[in-house]
Amino acid sequence: MTAFDLDAYNERARNGPCFICSMLDGVPGYEHRIVLDDGVHVAFLDRYPTLPGKLLVAPRAHVEDAIGGFTEDQYLALQLVVHRVATALAATVPTERVYVLSLGSQQGNSHVHWHIAPLPPGVPYEQQQFHALMTEGAGVLLEDPRRDERLAADLRTRLGRPDQRGV
């Protein structure tokens, strides 16, 4: 784990452009390793993971209301992608439990997205749940581009999209 500059992150989240739209538009500094892009939804590795393999799933369209921003069919389609990606992730990395949650706010990171976080086996109970997701505690995992690209490639293969590349 490495230290995480929460103040800089919050500044960017609250006052910068939408990180998901920026990633999809190819804006430098907003690159992520995409593991699935079906033209409507996108799944990608988290740039600041607190758990190995943590990723996000979002609609490509900029939607800001996690429930009311979708028709029932759109919401169910998105949740099907969440399920598919979480299932592939749990089959790829050692996982005791998969956490699935939607975070964000109208005040920052407003583009609806779901966090898929695989809790590794053996994590002491006191370090699980929200403790495992909080950057304020132990920080974020050290960046390892080779490991991350290998994980992304494995997930793309499991999801039937081996030729997709991140932006």
Active site members? 113
Q: What is the Cα–Cα distance from 54 to 48, expressed in whole angstroms?
A: 9
Closest CA to 55 of 99, 10, 97: 99
Closest CA to 159 of 65, 35, 58: 35
Both structure tokens of 160: 């039937």
Residue 150 near residue 28, CB atoms below 8 Å? no
Q: How far is CA 100 from the centre of its chain?
A: 10
Both structure tokens of 136: 């304020």
**φ, ψ for residue 29 (rounded to 5)?**
95, -10
- C-alpha pair distances (Å), 25 with each of 31, 79, 152, 154: 10, 24, 20, 24
